[in-house]
Structure 1
Amino acid sequence: MPEKTHYFYYGEDYLTAGIAIKIAQGKILGTLSELTREKIKKSQQVVENIVEKGEPVYGINTGFGPLCTTKISKEETEILQSNILQSHSVGVGDPIDTEIAKIMMILKVQSLSKGYSGISEQTLERILWHIENDAIPIVPSQGSVGASGDLAPLSHLFLPLIGLGKVEYQGKVISTSELFTITSLQAVNLKPKEGLALINGTQFIAAHAIQVVSKLHNCLSHADIIGAMMIEGLQGSIKPFYKELHNLRPYKGNIHVASRVKSLLKGSEIMEDHIDCDRVQDPYSLRCIPQVHGASRNAWLHLKELLEVELNSVTDNPIIIDEELTISGGSFHGQPLAMAIDYVCLAASEIGNISDRRIYLALEGNAPGVPKLLMEDTGINSGYMILQYTTAALASENKGLCFPSSADSIPTSLGQEDHVSMGSIGGRKALKVVENLEKILAIELLTAAQAFEYRRPLKSGIILDEIHKKLRTIVPFAEKDRVFADDIEKGIKMIKQGVITDIAYQISQQQQLSLDTKFSEEFELF
């Protein structure tokens, strides 16, 4: 493992989506301080005292769900915790991404380290071992309804603690028994309440939300830049991005987007070339970029803010306050995130929707100097015609995925758990929508760059010119038809790797240009 100099103290430090991702990527080392260890020991001791006294407390010496009135003997309280991991491991479907499973473990350690869950130091140390050694449990993607926590996926996540399940380790999927042979580890003997503490919580929902927040942040940053390039290619107006307009309707997202796009267009010869043209206004997909991109920025910010509350909360049940007070409540319920995830799912879809409209606009051939289908010699060549078919298909697929999962609820656990959030389903859907959006933006990048080419020899602002120059080292100008799927794959890779945003950042630093607004810190991931 590379040397790590940055530390995150679970249970004490403030966790964000960006920090969680950095821990998962090995850029930050998560650890437990001595103060946190003392809180953990104190909470576990309270649980042991409850067992000794024999007073019924849910999940410690009672059954689960509708079995909450079934008393469990002192001698069986540890068996109960092992059994719950096994009985609740009922997930189906393809495994979730390894990084998401790793983030789930990180989030669970953060929650349990607050000292209100009765978990043992030994169990937390084993979870930390899995994180630090990249022994990541295999977790099926389906089976959670997002209340009573993400029971099924969390059960699979922690089966390896008791010697069951499978893990991905050193590039291979192996059984936990094989892992134990390789590493000389032994199964953890779960103490009272530990099994329940491990599987009660919103970490499946929250881990997906982290990926959505991260990937959508990347998409939103790219969408502004690509939209600005399309404005140049189609000779759109800069006036809709003036602060004088947006100060009269001061939504944070709108102001932020308008400022960024105006900065990207600053110093453009292309803009100067048509400053006296007789066009009064542009189509909405160009003119309303601040309003549409900005609304999606606002939705992203809303989820980010709620997610950070969740990442620094205790979400299992029951909660151990002190010797005198344990509370069986509903902090495991995923509704706070579920509704915000559905909102962001729609926000991501809308960025793809307006991007597809700009692509269509670029193909029409109505902008001066830009040929129909973005190619001179059409007829024998179809030009960029069919690329828009792909974005239309992706945009339509995204619309179908936007039905809010949180609008549904199906009673479970024989009616004991009679309202559930379905946030787990919403998280999976939102992530799919964002991944589709990456593809749409990649296609808009190609079409915007093609239109941009017809403005030569005029120059744009320095950032857009450098981005276009970089793109042309990867995807050449298209004078005739070719297998455009290859170009699209290269574009998708550029979006995912942040090639464009990196160029924008580097040039803005070198030239002391500012793409920031007074809200820029709020719209940052980290």
Structure 2
Amino acid sequence: MNEEGLAPVILGAKDGLCLVNGTPCMTGLSCLAIADAERLSQWADVIGAMTFEALGGQLDAFDESILALKPHPGMQQVGKNLRSVLAGSEVLASRQGIRTQDALSIRSTPHVHGATRDQLAHAIRQIETELNSVTDNPMLLGTPDDWRVVSQANPHGQSVAMAADLLCMALAELGSIAERRLDRLINPMVSGLPAFLVSQPGVNSGMMIVQYVAASLCAENRQMAQPAVVDNYVTSGLQEDHLSLGTSAALKLHKVLGNVTQILAIEYLLAAQAFEFLKAQGFGVGTGAAWRLLRERIPAYDEDRWLAPDIASSAALLKDATSLERVFQHCRDHAATL
């Protein structure tokens, strides 16, 4: 605390429960996860747009008038982000009309990313309410002259636990669709790109193994998406016979969040590598900015090399709010010229 310039908290009457009850713990952990999830959901839109562009996606699926007919708030925001970062793409302009529709993992990005955003918004409401709640028991009410002590259940963490579980499932789906997209990038049967995104696929393995990594992380996420809140244990001699297990929910939320960060970092690497084969044409204003941003840290792949450091560098970029802001600032600057 001295290193951070913080003074120790002096506890007073009724302050002890916060140190031993799970509600403050699960709430604090969920707050940290929400902050990271908000940033990651923005990056997911940018990276998903890069894959969409590399695969020559059909822009009609993101048309504002089409998405408006299904007015989920998160979906509308994702659609807006996708249109913004893809604006001005010569790559896409040259490939419109080449197919009737794309695979669902490509054209349903607003729907899946948007559903995750809606669950994130719900979690924020729940956690903010909990932060501004009294979770003590027993509760001392009234004034020094007119008071009462009431035993109740405000320390029960059900609202936080459910929010953490729902967000855990939503983030797992964000990773799931990203893995399906990146798999298409390395498959020449559907991508139109060199196999495994290398110029000499017979000599080099290219990006084959990182798709294994992403698939493995998705499998782990599916296991952790099982809700903690539906489980239950009996404690305190039958007195505490219904528990939220919210701290367990919040802990696995952090694990899933870390896994999804790794999955999106891999998709980012693969989409950027796909751009190397398409750069004769101009990219979208936001997707091009994201590609250049990654290339400041990670060079393109000419032959096999150890990819773990590159995945780590890509993941570190996804944790950098300043870099994300740079991408969207390019989009705002472009929109201002129209």
TM-score by length of 1: 0.61
Residue 8 of structure 2 corresponds to residue 133 of structure 1: no
Among residues 315, 321, 327, which one is paired with 1:498 in the alignment? 321
Whether the aligned pair in 1 keeps the contact of 2:262 and 2:315 (CA below 8 Å) is yes
- Say if 1:403 and 1:513 are closer, same or farther in 2 by CA, change over 3 A: farther
The residue aligned with 2:294 is 471
Q: Which moved more, 1:330-339 or 1:198-207?
A: 198-207
2:191 and 2:159 map into 1 onto residues whose CA distance is 49
Residue 89 of structure 2 corresponds to residue 217 of structure 1: no
Residue 81 of structure 2 corresponds to residue 249 of structure 1: no
Residue 159 of structure 2 corresponds to residue 339 of structure 1: no
Deviations 1:165-224, CA, capped at 9 Å, x for gaps: xxxxxxxxxxxxxxxxxxxxxxx7x65x44346544611010111111111111111110
Shift of 1:423: 0.4
Among residues 108, 112, 126, which one is paired with 1:292 in the alignment? 112
- Say if 1:378 and 1:198 are closer, same or farther in 2 by CA, change over 3 A: closer
Shift of 1:308: 0.7
Identical-pair percentage: 35
1:298 and 1:392 map into 2 onto residues whose CA distance is 25
The residue type equivalent to 2:235 in the other structure is: T
Whether the aligned pair in 2 keeps the contact of 1:268 and 1:460 (CA below 8 Å) is yes
Residue 273 of structure 2 corresponds to residue 450 of structure 1: yes
Superposition map of 1:12-411 within 5 A = 133-134=5-6, 191=13, 193-196=14-17, 199-200=20-21, 202-277=23-98, 279-322=99-142, 323-367=146-190, 369-411=192-234
* Larger RCO (CA within 8 A; separation ≥ 6): 2
SS of alignment partner, residue 366 of structure 1 = helix
Residue 306 of structure 2 corresponds to residue 483 of structure 1: yes
Shift of 1:502: 2.1
Superposition map of 1:501-520 within 5 A = 501-513=324-336
Would you say how many aligned residue pairs link Structure 1 and Structure 2?
334
Shift of 1:506: 2.7
- Say if 1:339 and 1:271 are closer, same or farther in 2 by CA, change over 3 A: same
The residue aligned with 1:416 is 239
Structure 1 unpaired stretches of 5+: 1-128, 137-157, 162-187, 515-526
Whether the aligned pair in 2 keeps the contact of 1:235 and 1:367 (CA below 8 Å) is no
2:191 and 2:140 map into 1 onto residues whose CA distance is 69
The residue type equivalent to 2:239 in the other structure is: Q
Structure showing the higher helix proportion among its residues: 2
Shift of 1:280: 0.9
The residue type equivalent to 1:264 in the other structure is: V
1:388 and 1:276 map into 2 onto residues whose CA distance is 29
1:368 and 1:195 map into 2 onto residues whose CA distance is 59
SS of alignment partner, residue 407 of structure 1 = coil
The residue type equivalent to 2:170 in the other structure is: A
The residue type equivalent to 1:301 in the other structure is: A
Shift of 1:324: 3.2
SS of alignment partner, residue 141 of structure 2 = strand
Shift of 1:132: 6.6
Whether the aligned pair in 2 keeps the contact of 1:201 and 1:316 (CA below 8 Å) is no
Deviations 1:108-137, CA, capped at 9 Å, x for gaps: xxxxxxxxxxxxxxxxxxxxx88973478x
The residue type equivalent to 1:384 in the other structure is: M
The residue type equivalent to 2:30 in the other structure is: A
Deviations 1:32-80, CA, capped at 9 Å, x for gaps: xxxxxxxxxxxxxxxxxxxxxxxxxxxxxxxxxxxxxxxxxxxxxxxxx
- Say if 1:406 and 1:224 are closer, same or farther in 2 by CA, change over 3 A: same
Whether the aligned pair in 1 keeps the contact of 2:119 and 2:170 (CA below 8 Å) is yes
Deviations 1:461-517, CA, capped at 9 Å, x for gaps: 222212211211211111211111121111111111235412223323444559xxx
The residue type equivalent to 2:141 in the other structure is: I
Deviations 1:266-304, CA, capped at 9 Å, x for gaps: 111111111242x11111111110111111111111100
Whether the aligned pair in 2 keeps the contact of 1:242 and 1:259 (CA below 8 Å) is no
The residue type equivalent to 2:124 in the other structure is: K
Shift of 1:343: 0.6
Whether the aligned pair in 2 keeps the contact of 1:209 and 1:341 (CA below 8 Å) is yes
1:443 and 1:241 map into 2 onto residues whose CA distance is 24
- Say if 1:493 and 1:197 are closer, same or farther in 2 by CA, change over 3 A: closer
**Quick check: which has more Rg, 1 or 2?**
1
Whether the aligned pair in 1 keeps the contact of 2:76 and 2:114 (CA below 8 Å) is yes
Among residues 263, 282, 297, which one is paired with 1:459 in the alignment? 282
Whether the aligned pair in 2 keeps the contact of 1:238 and 1:265 (CA below 8 Å) is no
Question: How big is the alpha-carbon RMSD for the aligned residues of Structure 1 and Structure 2?
Answer: 2.1
2:283 and 2:15 map into 1 onto residues whose CA distance is 60
Whether the aligned pair in 1 keeps the contact of 2:139 and 2:150 (CA below 8 Å) is yes
Deviations 1:145-183, CA, capped at 9 Å, x for gaps: xxxxxxxxxxxxx8xx6xxxxxxxxxxxxxxxxxxxxxx
- Say if 1:241 and 1:447 are closer, same or farther in 2 by CA, change over 3 A: same
The residue type equivalent to 1:443 in the other structure is: I
